[in-house]
Amino acid sequence: MPSSAVCLRLAGVRYAVGTASSAKGFTEILSGVDLTARRSEVTAIIGPNGAGKTTTLSCSQGLLRPSSGTVQLLGQNPWRAGAGLRARVGVMLQDGGLPQSVRPRTLLAHIAKLHRHPWPLEDLITRLDLSDFLSTTIRRLSGGQKQRVALAAALIGDPELVFLDEPSAGLDPQSRQLVFDLIGHLRSCGIGIVLTTHLLEEAQQLADSVYILKDGAVIRHGTVAELTDSTAEQNGRSAPRRLCFASPRILTRDELDAAPLPVELDSDSNRAGARWTVAAISAPADLSSLTAWWEQIGLFPAEISFEARTLEDVFWEVSVP
Amino acid sequence: MTSAAQSTTTPRSRPAPAHRRVLAHGLYEARITLRNGEQLLVSLILPLLVLIGLHRAHAITEIVPDIDTTAPGVLALAVMASAFTGAGIAAGFERQYGVLAYLATTPLGPTGLILGKSLAVLCVIAVQLVVLGGAALALGWAPEPMGLIWLLGAVVIGAAAFTALGLLVAGTVRAEATLALTNVAWVLMGAAGGAVLPLNHEGAGALLLLLPSAALGEAMREASIHGSLAAVPVLILAAWALAAILAARKWFRWT
């Protein structure tokens, strides 16, 4: 089987729940999601809270039955999945799904028994650095430790495809790197990885393919390079750039409203001065209109710099009204 | 396709055989239950105290039945404790923490999970029968040997009915509500629902004989005292089991 083979395909997936308060009698959580994930690739699903990320995963895993549309998980319908299909898929749920009164070693050893050829437990323990708390009941573990146990539980069956719902939530930088390294290892071994995350930097670093969800629909998808349009120059176009500038004072709301392009205040601004970001400068004309605006409000920036656009820029552009 | 753990070139992700998965999960859950102090209290300690208490009370007053009547009743109480209260509360909290959803995505699956839980309940009941039955024998219980098979049959049908009822509660209301509901129901069914002490078979009170607790108690007492099958209570219990399984299948929510 080629390593780039499709391992998950969603076509027009809708999911609705009945709600008495809605005039229609139901609320649509997913409104026609199309998504394709491949082996040897990390597919990231990002979006604001309530966008439908976890519901998309639940429909993909067979935990929820779509109202309409089709889901093909390793070529089969996950809703009717037998043990054979479930053995090939690893799942890490957002809230972990871990029994609180059990020790990690007991849990992992038990899940391993459900598989014919599990991942050797000691190897997984080493890779995820679990040894220090294997004999502590799960309810006593920190959030990051629980995350690592949940990840181990998803991988113990040595799956062909793993779903990771917020895999790095609550992890310290060292643990996050462990998880990133493991995801890289999985990808290099031909495993398909589908993950959701709130951390756009993480998605940018890890993902081969990104789907941005909003209000239950995919509003943008592609590789990170495609989404940030960093390949534009290779195609003979000017690549959009993020422009940052510093001002000695905080701009007023009226001044910002008069700006020709959306201008955001950077979080590292302080009393000594403010830093501002224009997410996308696509043409020289954008620059002209910006300098005209500076002249209009009497601002001479102390510093101007161009940076490559990030996934975060794209995310804010498309997901914030 | 390459296995991440083994670095081979053939697909290796395959489930263990179905019977091994169910057996493994049943033993895993049984071990967890028997190591849980609260579960032990409800499953063994409280029924044991009831058994001894009723035996002592009988020595004081004839109003309280003798050990031959109370012992099968206490065993019925113990079955309800494991199958209804214990399994229900455990499933309720597992549902709240997403454990049921996670296990449903493993090769165990929903069906294996239910079978595994049922096996765990039967394992715990086996321990209860040994401990409580042994204590009752030491206190003078003399069950009819020919009735033991009917007693075990009633235990199995009762376990199915009460496990399904416990899962029905756990799968439809919050974990905290499951905790309260199953405990209160267990106490009421044990004290006044015909499980431990026989009910009056005449008058309006006879309607209580339709309760699953009364049906289980009646079936176990008939088997223990007379060595015979109590057909009507067993049918009532089987009807409860069927109805509860169908209701749980319809309304149980995994998340």
Are A181 and A76 within one domain?
yes
What is the nearest CA distance from A138 to chain B, expressed in angstroms? 12
Question: Measured between alpha carbons, how far is B196 from A168 in angstroms, rounded to an integer?
Answer: 52
What is the nearest CA distance from B206 to chain A, expressed in angstroms? 41
Question: Measured between alpha carbons, how far is A125 from A116 in angstroms, rounded to an integer?
Answer: 19
Within-domain flag for A19:
yes
Within-domain flag for B192:
yes
B16 interfaces chain A, CB cutoff of 8 Å: yes
Mark which of A222, A244, A267 sits at the end of a domain.
Answer: A222
Local confidence band at B111 (pLDDT 50, 70, 90 cut-offs):
confident
Q: Show the tokens assigned to A101.
A: 């009164």
Chain A residue with minimum CA distance to B95: A97
Q: Is the pLDDT of residue B187 over 70?
A: yes
Within-domain flag for A204:
yes
Q: How many domains does chain A have?
A: 2
A153 interfaces chain B, CB cutoff of 8 Å: yes
Question: Measured between alpha carbons, how far is A43 from A284 in angstroms, rounded to an integer?
Answer: 34
Would you call A117 and B3 a contact, using CB atoms and an 8 Å cutoff?
yes
Within-domain flag for A83:
yes
CATH of the domain at A162: 3.40.50.300
Q: Which residue segment(s) compose the domain that A169 sits in? A: 6-222
Within-domain flag for A243:
yes
Are A217 and A279 within one domain?
no
Within-domain flag for B8:
no
Instruction: Please give chain A's pLDDT, 321 residues, in tens.
Output: 444 699 999 999 999 987 766 677 788 999 999 999 999 999 999 998 889 999 999 999 999 999 999 999 999 999 988 899 999 999 999 877 899 999 999 999 999 999 999 999 999 999 999 999 999 999 999 988 999 999 999 999 999 999 999 988 888 888 888 888 899 999 999 999 999 988 888 888 899 999 999 999 999 999 988 888 765 555 555 667 888 898 888 888 899 999 998 888 887 666 667 888 887 887 888 889 999 999 999 998 988 988 877 888 788 777 766
Would you call B102 and A97 a contact, using CB atoms and an 8 Å cutoff?
yes
Within-domain flag for A227:
no
Where b means 16+ CB within 10 Å and e means fewer, B2-41 reads bbbbeeeeebbbbbbebeebbbbbbbbbbebbeebeebbe
Within-domain flag for A88:
yes
Question: Measured between alpha carbons, how far is B237 from A99 in angstroms, rounded to an integer?
Answer: 32
Give tens-digit pLDDT for B81-101. Answer: 999 999 999 999 999 999 999
Question: Measured between alpha carbons, how far is B243 from B241 in angstroms, rounded to an integer?
Answer: 6
Q: Which residues contact B237 (CB under 8 A, 6 or more apart)?
A: B154, B157, B158, B161, B212, B215, B216, B219
Would you call A87 and B14 a contact, using CB atoms and an 8 Å cutoff?
yes
B227 interfaces chain A, CB cutoff of 8 Å: no
Please report residues of A whose CB lies closer than 8 A to that of B32: 99, 101-102
3-state secondary structure of A220: strand
Mark which of A222, A251, A283 sits at the end of a domain.
Answer: A222
Closest-CA residue to A192 (of A157, A218, A228, A160): A160
Within-domain flag for B142:
yes
Within-domain flag for B141:
yes
Give tens-digit pLDDT for B112-131. Answer: 888 899 999 999 999 999 99
Angle at A138 between CA A132 and CA A140, to 5 degrees: 80
Q: Which residue segment(s) compose the domain that B207 sits in? A: 18-251
Within-domain flag for B46:
yes
Within-domain flag for A259:
yes
What does DSSP say about strands A68-73 and A192-196: parallel, antiparallel, or unpaired? unpaired
Q: Using an 8 Å Cβ cutoff, are B144 and B224 in contact?
A: yes
Within-domain flag for B138:
yes
Give tens-digit pLDDT for B137-181. Answer: 999 999 999 999 999 999 999 999 999 999 999 989 999 999 999
Would you call B6 and A158 a contact, using CB atoms and an 8 Å cutoff?
yes
Q: How many domains does chain B have?
A: 1
Q: What pTM was computed for the model?
A: 0.82
Mark which of A172, A194, A222 sits at the end of a domain.
Answer: A222
